[in-house]
A and B are shown apart, each in its own frame.
Chain A
Amino acid sequence: MTKWAMTADLGRCVGCQTCTTACRHANNTPPGVQYRKVLDMEVGEFPDVRRVFVPVGCMHCDEPPCRDVCPTTATTKRADGMVMIDYDICIGCGYCILACPYQARYKVTKPTFAFKGEATANEAQRFDERLLGVAQKCTFCVDRVDYGLANGLTPGVDPEATPACVNACLAKALTFGDLDDPNSNVRKLLDKNKSFRMHEELGTGPNIHYLWETEDK
């Protein structure tokens, strides 16, 4: 089986937000909608204070609460682990937005553009009416992954088959790959490093793994 997952090395992330920008470019998201965000945390108390950058977004959970509450079956989980939304079925009730403990979902009810009322040529060309009034979120760049698989590429290794945020990460903090493949990049990183998953106590089984220390420390 294949199970797509991501690792985010907190020791490497410098908070440059290039992943956020790449995601917004790849998905043409309107102002205020960020499928991939990088949180800027100040942890500890003076004098032991440290700054941590934490990439977040849809965790493509093993047991996605967004899918469980969806009254329309618009939210589904693929066999490879990706949680998807069918924009043509979603009624925009917002229930999934509330059920997601990662604040990863958005609903935009009217067209919004970077420069207020007027769309740029790029925004106008790529505007997708289907996304109005329904839930939207990170797809792990499913189109790129599927394209890559159809053309014999390896997601997470070949850039054409890899999520835009991972491609853009200049610190190589983000990695994407098949968790079930013992030779995949993400599996090797998880074997070599200590990791945690956000809000794991909620039983969602999130699939972004945060690396925080190498095992040999």
Chain B
Amino acid sequence: MSEQEEAQPQMRHLGLAPWLQTAWDLRAAGNFIGGGSGTGLLILTSAAAYYGIYSRVLLLAGLALVGLGLFSVFLEIGRPLRAMNVLFGGKRSWMTREAMVAGVLFPLGAAALVYPDLVKVVWIPAAAYLYCQARILEATKGIPTWRSPLILPLILSTGIAEGAGAFLLLGPLVLEAGIPEWGGAVLISALAARVFVWMFYRRRMVDGGAPVAAAAVLIAFSGPFTIGGNVMPIVFLVLAGLQPDMAVAALAAAGLIAMLGGWALKITIVTKAAHNQGFAIDHSPARGSGESGVGFKPGWREVPKDKT
């Protein structure tokens, strides 16, 4: 690769087999991290309002995370001065819909800082925003690990897990009555859902749903993610239940690890296991008087026809 292409990785074109996409890097992953954790936290903060718990700090933290995510992706676009054009494509694009929902979420969140009763409805645009993020990935037909239908429950469950994690982490610092009991239950449910979906997602990708190189990344990530990002927080949650004197610290640790696990998942899926489709032919041609031959799909595992 030339120096010029080194400096502009979007220009890279590497051979026949699927190669790692370079159009979206950590800045784009930042949008999914901030958006997922932020909306997850906003959903829990909104739910807490139904139990008489109101915290401006949690509300602000949730909005700030979403805002940071959007700012992060703003740094990635080629023509930042035209950023508002992102609102034109609502008919088809989930990215536009995400931006439109943000246009509801931020004013509503700001209003809820002044009128606490409004917190009870903040979960609606927050959940919609999280859903849009999942659909953004799912609509990306060129990246096999993103277009899987299982990406939808995976992004939703990790968003809730990250938000519940942030809630348990920040709650003791800002909630006078401490964390409500259901906080831990939400986290454990979201973690269970996340690891459950992850197992199916990973299996589908490894079984031919993704290029070999992307599947290898997921395989390498699976162990640390399952144990470190999901089992460990559950262990801390159990510890919090068994040892009430350590409960606050254990819940915070569980929350932090669950959140970091989700961030690692997104960094992995968006920037590391994001190999493109590559190229394939269904048949080799007949040349001259010769016979035609088999097809070719480099970089993909051969899957028996009855499994496709």
A199 CB to nearest B CB, Å: 6
Residues facing B in A162-217 (CB within 8 A) are 194, 196, 198-199, 202, 204, 210-214, 217
Report whether A71 and B11 are in contact in the complex, using a CB–CB cutoff of 8 Å: no
A201 CB to nearest B CB, Å: 8
| Any B CB within 8 A of the CB of A83 | no
Complex Cα distance A194/B291, Å? 13
| Any B CB within 8 A of the CB of A90 | yes
Residues facing A in B1-34 (CB within 8 A) are 2-5, 7-8, 10-13, 16, 21, 23-24, 28
Complex Cα distance A212/B85, Å? 43
B206 CB to nearest A CB, Å: 19
Report whether B4 and A52 are in contact in the complex, using a CB–CB cutoff of 8 Å: no
Question: What residues of chain B lie closer than 8 Å to A94, measured between beta carbons?
Answer: 10, 23-24, 28, 76-78
Question: What residues of chain A lie closer than 8 Å to B220, measured between beta carbons?
Answer: none
A178 CB to nearest B CB, Å: 24
| Any A CB within 8 A of the CB of B296 | yes
Report whether A213 and B283 are in contact in the complex, using a CB–CB cutoff of 8 Å: yes
Across the interface, name the chain A residue whose C-beta is closest to B14: A103
Complex Cα distance A94/B88, Å? 16
Residues facing B in A78-119 (CB within 8 A) are 89-95, 97-103, 106-110, 112, 116
- Knowing A93-B86, A107-B23, A116-B4, say if A67 contacts B92 (CB, 8 Å): yes
Interface size class of B (residues with CB under 8 A): 35 or more
Q: Which of A68, A98, A103, A194 neighbours the largest number of chain B CB atoms within 10 Å of its CB?
A: A98
Question: What residues of chain A lie closer than 8 Å to B8, measured between beta carbons?
Answer: 32, 108-110, 112
| Any A CB within 8 A of the CB of B131 | no
| Any B CB within 8 A of the CB of A120 | no
A97 CB to nearest B CB, Å: 4
| Any A CB within 8 A of the CB of B172 | no
| Any B CB within 8 A of the CB of A70 | yes
Of A41, A100, A102, A217, which contacts B292 at CB under 8 A? A217
Complex Cα distance A26/B24, Å? 29
The 3 nearest A-B residue pairs measured at CB: A92-B78, A133-B78, A94-B23
Known pairs A71-B99, A98-B146, A112-B8 / 18 extra A-B pairs, C-beta < 8 Å: A11-B286, A11-B288, A30-B4, A39-B16, A90-B85, A92-B77, A94-B78, A98-B140, A98-B142, A98-B143, A98-B276, A103-B13, A103-B276, A103-B277, A103-B278, A132-B78, A211-B285, A217-B292
